[in-house]
Amino acid sequence: MPAPLSLAAAFDPALAARAGGLVADEAKAKGNDLVYAPTVNIMRTPLGGRTFEGYGEDPYLTARTAVGWIKGAQATGVIANVKHYAANNQETGRMSINAEIDERTLREIYLPQFEAAVKDAGSGSVMCAYNKVNTQFSCENEHLLKDILTREWGFKGFVLSDYPTTPGSPSPTTRPSRGRSQRAASRCSRTPVPCCRSGPAGSRRSR
């Protein structure tokens, strides 16, 4: 499969749907019921380590490509996991940086593709990001998770943390012990929307 950035260069949502369906079929054949995709973060810098994994620098193109991809994937019965919500757009400090973004910029640049994924494509899950947005970590950000995702967009699915990024979890640079993972999962259950800790026993996911 070509890099997602190349897929976006086709400007073809129908082709994106075919790509999503193919990836989901392969995931299902491996016994997975969720795939960690698509990545819809905006390309702010070519130095971003995962820039190739997204759909470029234009919110509209990214949104339309993501909608096609998600519809194609979920038509197979596999859950799409749109990521990384939100503003996870650079490599330096990617796991801890505080993205200071005014509301207009947030709405015009960083959120339209997530909104389309939820409202137009019906994505079954959303992955919250490592970074902070306006001083609150994304996975415990009340404005992002409660005000926008749940109340405004009417999201009915579940939020999946990007590895140990749930409130109160250990540093993302360390692997938590079993006991600490369980405590993190407990805290996760008290987040504003349904949240699933990454990698619980019995889960079947594909990156």
**Annotated catalytic residue within 12, 58, 102, 162:** 162
Higher pLDDT, 51 or 29: 29
User: Which CATH number covers residue 21?
Assistant: 3.20.20.300
Cβ within 8 Å of residue 190, ≥6 positions away: 167
**167 band by pLDDT with thresholds 50, 70 and 90:** low
> pTM to 2 decimals?
0.82
Higher pLDDT, 178 or 157: 157
Q: Are 134 and 100 in contact (CB under 8 A)?
A: yes
Tokens standing for residue 34: 């969720």
Tokens standing for residue 179: 């006991």
Q: Are 116 and 107 in contact (CB under 8 A)?
A: no
Structural domain containing residue 22? 4-206
Higher pLDDT, 173 or 65: 65
Confidence at residue 162, expressed as pLDDT on a 0 to 100 scale = 87
Number of H helices, E strands in the chain: 7, 9
Angstrom CA distances, 134 to 13, 101, 144, stand at 33, 7, 10
pLDDT in tens, 71-114: 999 999 999 999 999 999 888 888 889 999 999 999 999 999 99
- Domains identified in the chain, total number: 1
Confidence at residue 198, expressed as pLDDT on a 0 to 100 scale = 40
Confidence at residue 113, expressed as pLDDT on a 0 to 100 scale = 98
pLDDT in tens, 122-155: 999 999 999 999 999 999 999 999 999 999 999 9
Strands 34-35 and 79-85: parallel
162 is catalytic: yes
In the block, tokens 């490509």 appear at 65
Q: Are 189 and 195 in contact (CB under 8 A)?
A: yes
Q: How far apart are CA 151 and CA 149, in angstroms?
A: 6
Confidence at residue 163, expressed as pLDDT on a 0 to 100 scale = 77
Q: How far apart are CA 162 and CA 190, in angstroms?
A: 17
Q: Is 202 left (phi over 0), alpha (psi -120 to 50) or beta?
A: left
